[in-house]
Amino acid sequence: MEFLRRKIDIVKDADYCLECHCRINYACETPWKREMSYEAYRAEWFSYSSQTAEYLDALQKSMEDARTLAEILETQDGKTIGYFWMTVQSSAESGFSFAEIQEIYVEKACRGQGIARRMYAFAEQHAKSCGAKVLRAGTGCENDASMHLHETLGFAPYRKEYEKVL
């Protein structure tokens, strides 16, 4: 599928980005949290106004850095089919730079058509052009499709995080 990329307009695209962020969070949640339906999860997630505000603030602040990719993916006729957000961070002390894919979302009807792969390839080229030495991405512990995609793209685990329900 052919698609276009355009920079996120934080005002115009806020609702879509928030919806994608919520869907991504749910897909990456721990098994115990995903016992609740997506509808219940979404209602709870959107009820926390500070959470939505913090997300939009982080997205907007990251966009002040020219190295950030924050884009809406659209078909030729303007239909929104996804969203992509990648930041680049550098240490002034060590000089080490890395890019981190914060989020990628492709609408269900458009999955399996190479969109995520092409966005990752573009992100990798962009990260290299920004001096990044590493490209990082994360996913949930049971998000098998995401883990498979990352592995086929040459990613390797570099950290594991653990959680204990109390």
pTM assigned to the model: 0.92
* 166, pLDDT greater than 90: no
- Look up tokens 């602040």; give the residue: 61
pLDDT in tens, 23-34: 999 999 989 899
Is there a contact between 139 and 146 (Cβ–Cβ < 8 Å)?
yes
Average pLDDT over every residue of 94-119: 95
Q: Which domains does the chain have, with CATH numbers?
A: 4-152 (3.40.630.30)
Phi, psi of 140, rounded to the nearest 5 degrees: -80, 160
pLDDT in tens, 56-106: 999 999 999 999 999 999 999 999 999 999 999 998 899 899 999 999 999
